[in-house]
Amino acid sequence: MDEARIVKVLSITHPELIESIKKDITPVMTDLIMIKEVYDKFCLTYKPHDDYSHKLLFIASVLRLFNPDALIIEYKLRSGIRASLADCLSHTGQLTSYYISQARAYMKIKAFKNDVAIITENYLCNTSVS
């Protein structure tokens, strides 16, 4: 059975599942200039125990806000996201790509995923979304 047919069957038999998936992969924010603002607020409000965790949580939070499909199904990043993350972290693109892959892997850990959800929800509740 091909993917289009599976999606069609699911949309008929489980429309709530399809709506949930669409909601999970639709970006909440689109203006990449806002990544710097997210970084500034993130650094001020969330201080994990080490720099590595801090970077992974920030990257996962940005992906959840700006490119959730890339976080959930490891879809290709939207143009400009890696460069914006690299600028915020003062890293090369290659090192940033490494951290992105690590953040994606950590999303399989329930506690990490919950932390990302809390961080992004707190950010969205305390700002106007662009």
Residue 17 lies in a domain: no
Residue 2 lies in a domain: no
Considering its fold, how many domains does the chain have in total? 1
Residue 130 lies in a domain: no
Residue 104 lies in a domain: yes
Residue 53 lies in a domain: yes
Contact 81, 63 (CB under 8 A): yes
Residue 20 lies in a domain: no
pTM: 0.73
Whole-angstrom distance, CA of residue 66 vs CA of residue 95: 20
pLDDT digits (tens, 9 = 90+) for 53-68: 889 999 999 999 888 8
| Cα dihedral sign, 8-68-86-115 | negative
Residue 124, Cβ neighbours under 10 Å: how many? 13
Residue 106 lies in a domain: yes
pLDDT digits (tens, 9 = 90+) for 72-99: 776 788 889 999 999 999 999 899 999 9
Residue 109 lies in a domain: yes
Exposure string for 100-112, b = 16+ CB within 10 A, e = fewer: beebbebbeeeeb
For 73, the domain range is 29-125
